[in-house]
């Protein structure tokens, strides 16, 4: 499945590139489409997969879904490719997205487990380290 995903996003992934793969339990009882975690053999490959999947969704009108990796049942089921964050990182990303919406920041993203925001193309990139920093940015603007 991961190799087919690589083909659909134009990224060369082989079975030897996958270090570990497992499915995590869903939040709701009886949920069928639970997240699948893939651990790659290199960080460079992981970053490349993330970059190529975002680029594929931007380039094509139809977002990445199950039919693109060969599934015929539930073919409209979307596939989300995202970086796995720690609990603290997830919380900071949530707060940063809220900051971006309320204070007109144009960009909010994660990279290598860190959360970044940017007001526009010419402004400096701000790396979010704590909830206090997000609160200060909320009050500053």
Please tell me the predicted confidence (pLDDT) of residue 84: 87
pLDDT digits (tens, 9 = 90+) for 90-136: 999 999 999 999 998 999 999 888 999 999 999 999 999 999 999 99
Determine the pLDDT at residue 75.
65
What does the pLDDT look like over 56-91, one tens digit per residue? 888 887 788 877 777 767 667 788 888 888 999 999
Tokens matching residue 114? 């860190």
Give CA–CA dist 6/71, Å, rounded.
Answer: 15
The structure tokens 């060969």 sit at 70
Q: Which two tokens stand for residue 97?
A: 């997205």
| Residue boundaries of the structural domains of the chain | 2-69, 87-140
Instruction: Calculate ∠ Cα 138-140-141, nearest 5°.
Output: 80
pLDDT, position 141: 60
């Amino acid at each position: 499945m991961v190799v087919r995903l690589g083909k659909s996003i134009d990224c060369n992934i082989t079975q030897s590139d996958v270090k570990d793969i497992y499915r995590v339990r869903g939040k709701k009882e009886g949920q069928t489409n639970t997240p699948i975690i893939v651990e790659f053999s290199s960080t460079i490959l992981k970053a490349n997969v993330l970059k190529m999947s975002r680029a594929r969704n931007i380039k094509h009108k139809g977002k990445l879904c199950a039919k693109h990796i060969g599934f015929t049942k539930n073919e409209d089921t979307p596939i989300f490719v995202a970086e796995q964050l720690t609990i603290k990182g997830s919380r900071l990303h949530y707060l940063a997205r809220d900051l971006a919406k309320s204070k007109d920041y144009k960009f909010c993203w994660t990279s290598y487990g860190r959360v970044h925001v940017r007001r526009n193309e010419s402004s400096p990139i701000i790396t979010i380290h704590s909830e206090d920093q997000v609160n200060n940015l909320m009050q500053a603007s």
